[in-house]
A = this chain, B = another copy of it.
Amino acid sequence: MGHDDRCDERMLALETRLRALEDESEIRRLIGSYGPRVDSGDADGASQLWDREGIYDVDDLLMHGQAAIAAMVMSAQHQSFISRGCAHVIGPPHILLEGDDAVAVCHSLLLLHEKDRFVVQRATANHWRLHRGEAGWRVTTRTSRILDGRGESPDLFRRGLRPDEFTNG
């Protein structure tokens, strides 16, 4: 193999590795923008983190599609959180990439203002499925369960950390 071919090969390897880091960075930015978006009532911005047909499945509330997610942000309850003072803090996501698909897990906390301090209303396990389409990475399904002892919540973490997550659906 001549120098030019070796050069092309090394460059291709670099491009592939760089792409993986860029994917991670893009996914971190996407997930990391959720909290600031919902805390500032940005219903469109928050819902557009999902695919058009994306699902946000959180305990008693199953939202299907961007309009349902936007409606949650516009709801009286969410708006009352904002008026009272709230923080949706999303912990650093653990991300596994597989081509144009990714799975991430992270904690999230919902803090609400209360007199001279804040209370942690919810601590939640989150499992994200993401897909890269024409418009870049989008959430296809986010499943969130409160960490109150129910078995579903640790299950989300277990599933999201397994290397066979992609094949076992």
Contact = CB atoms under 8 A, between A and B. Distances in A.
A75 interface: no
Interface stretch (A50-58, A60-68, A132-140, A145-153): A145-153
Interface in A63-100: 82-87, 89-95
A36 B161 contact: yes
Nearest to A148: B85
Number of this chain's copies in the assembly equals: 3
A25 B14 contact: no
A32 to B, nearest CB: 4
A22 interface: yes
Contact of A154 (B17, B33, B41, B161): B41
Given A7-B11, A36-B94, A36-B105, A147 B86 contact: yes
A43 interface: no
Contact of A37 (B33, B118, B157): B157
A123 B111 contact: yes
A36 B157 contact: yes
